[in-house]
DNA sequence: GCTTGACCTAGAGCTAACTCTAAATTCTAT
DNA sequence: ATAGAATTTAGAGTTAGCTCTAGGTCAAGC
């Protein structure tokens, strides 16, 4: 069974343009061509494509993905390199997710900030008296609620009175 | 207390070029200037800067961050819009983190794939007999180990024999 | 007073990752 | 058999987000 570039594009939810671009960049050396020069993807090719999509999602630049594919085409001598490559990007991704968790926490605290302002009808409730500067104690108040067991996500929900 | 662009750049680990670019894009309308036209950041400005950095990390495009800052400068009439903006990007970020978790899971299964190949000395142990195609049962085997309680992260570690 | 470094603007340049165009060919369905 | 859709290539164009250059001003230390 083989698949045209359009069929693969549909299945992976990627445009044919993008697939050809990846091919040009050396990411698809495993793809066969028919007599007329058209790409014929095999079932096994999806194993590679899955890896490419995964590494893209992990934020690995196209060129580096190309390096990895090169290792794959070289054979058993590169097994350790391929393992190391994946281990490195696993670590990178773990760090990125930890950063994003902090970002999400921050977003939730700001949501709570606006929820409480909204309920008061004005942002001034968060300002130091007589100024337009945010009172640092406001953040501390939020942190205290969390420390007392409240869910940061629920605290910011408007339905949560 | 005020701060120069260089001091702010150091503190946020962002280049002064980037800060000026953000200013040009309308992200820093709150920054004062001294008599000579140099930017003087106030302590309260860091509240805005924190939000900008957070939204950037969350993947919000610079233009949209500018829209949010505009809302902030407008006053209490936009409190609901600001809340909605943050709620939308909270949801986006939650989805993104869920996708990244799947990506991380995939990366770990592939690491296990290479760990086991490495221990066998060849990738052929994962192929269907007499072919160069990966046996789909290999992934199923990994999934079974996870279902039986193994940690996906630990399964891929080389020290885990 | 002078030098060194930080800052200013306008605008050019850069990179990554697409995204599309043009002109030609091939495949598919009637 | 033929119309229309899909595919091919080379190469141009686009966008976001910086990043830097040039030419000038300003501020702090010796």
pLDDT tens string A18-59 = 999 999 999 999 999 999 999 999 999 999 999 999 999 999
Check whether A161 has a pLDDT greater than 70.
Answer: no
B110 touches chain A (CB under 8 A): yes
Q: Which residues of A touch B64 (CB under 8 A)?
A: none
CB count in 10 Å sphere of residue A139: 16
Closest CA to A141 of A155, A121, A124: A155
Mean pLDDT computed over B122-142: 97
Which CATH architecture best describes the domain A2-74?
Orthogonal Bundle (1.10)
Check whether B59 has a pLDDT greater than 80.
Answer: yes
Edge-to-edge strand ranges of the sheet holding A2-3: A2-3, A39-42, A32-33
Would you state the pLDDT for residue B51?
A: 98
Check CB contact under 8 Å for B54 and A110: yes
Q: Which residues of B touch A117 (CB under 8 A)?
A: 76, 79
Mark residues 20-39 of chain B whose C-beta is closer than 7 A to nucleic acid strand C: 20, 23-24, 37-39
Evaluate if the CB of B96 falls below 7 Å from strand D: no
A143 touches chain B (CB under 8 A): no
Check whether B122 has a pLDDT greater than 80.
Answer: yes
Check whether B160 has a pLDDT greater than 90.
Answer: no
Map out the domains of chain B as residue ranges: 2-74, 93-155
pLDDT tens string A118-128: 999 999 999 99
Residue spans of alpha helices (H) in B27-158: 45-57, 62-74, 79-120, 136-147, 152-155
Interatomic CA distance for residues B108 and B152, integer angstroms? 6
pLDDT tens string B10-36: 999 999 999 999 999 999 999 999 999
CB-nearest to B103 from A57, A104, A134 is: A57
Residue A160 pLDDT level (bands cut at 50, 70, 90): low
Evaluate if the CB of B15 falls below 7 Å from strand D: yes
């Amino acid at each position: 069974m083989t698949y045209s570039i359009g069929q693969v594009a549909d299945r992976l939810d990627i445009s044919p343009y993008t697939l050809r671009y990846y091919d040009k960049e050396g990411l698809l050396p495993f793809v066969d061509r028919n007599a007329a020069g058209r790409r014929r993807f095999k079932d096994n090719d999806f194993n590679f494509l899955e890896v490419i999509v995964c590494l893209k999602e992990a934020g690995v630049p196209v060129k580096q993905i190309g390096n990895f594919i090169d290792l794959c085409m070289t054979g058993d001598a590169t097994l350790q390199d391929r393992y190391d490559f994946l281990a490195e990007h696993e670590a990178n991704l773990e760090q990125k997710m930890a950063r994003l968790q902090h970002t999400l926490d921050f977003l939730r605290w700001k949501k709570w900030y606006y929820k409480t302002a909204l309920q008061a009808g004005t942002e001034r409730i968060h300002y130091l008296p007589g100024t337009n500067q945010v009172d640092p104690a406001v953040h501390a108040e939020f942190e205290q609620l969390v420390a007392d067991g409240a869910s940061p996500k629920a605290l910011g929900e408007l339905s949560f009175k």
